[in-house]
Amino acid sequence: MTAWLDTTFDVIAVAVFGLAAVALGGWAVFHAVRQTFWWPKASARILRYWITRSGDEPKGQPFFHPVLRFETEDGRSVTTISSWGSWRRPWPMGHTVFVRYDPNNPRRAEVTCVANVWGIPLTVVGLLAILALLLALRGYLRSP
């Protein structure tokens, strides 16, 4: 009976984790592809950083979100805060970076860098690869 419970638990755990990872990964890949191929690109200046803290605690880890200013294809000036934040300031203030922005809502803009665009999809793929490896090695790990 223990083997049946282990197998059922394994199947349920893998199914729940796998479905959640596939859903998150699918959304992240869709967003990365949309941002890379369909959102217009613009040159932006980093004006300053907006600091948030993990867990909304005063002593939580600070995350630095660049405040960006750029012009859209139709010449509108946009100032926005990137939703992507880093534990350090990756670019100096005044530095010029490239951004991709949502043409329907230009305030939704992100700095074009690998970590920002492809970080979540690559992380999910890596976690799924580790899960697949652990499942493949499951028999060897349980053997005496």
pLDDT digits (tens, 9 = 90+) for 17-54: 777 777 877 777 787 788 878 889 999 999 999 998 87
Q: 90: number of CA atoms within 13 Å, CB side?
A: 18
Residue 58 lies in a domain: yes
pLDDT digits (tens, 9 = 90+) for 55-107: 767 788 889 999 999 999 999 999 999 888 888 888 899 999 999 999 999 99
Number of domains in the chain: 1
User: In this structure, is residue 108 part of a structural domain?
Assistant: yes
3-state DSSP percent of the chain in helix, strand and coil, to 5: 45, 30, 25
Q: Which tokens belong to 83?
A: 């939703």
Among 52, 51, 30, 28, residue whose Cα is nearest residue 115: 28
pLDDT for res 72: 96
Domain range for 80: 2-138
Domain membership of residue 115 (yes or no) is: yes
List, edge to edge, every strand of the sheet that includes 41-53.
77-81, 62-71, 41-53, 96-102, 105-111
pTM for this one? 0.64
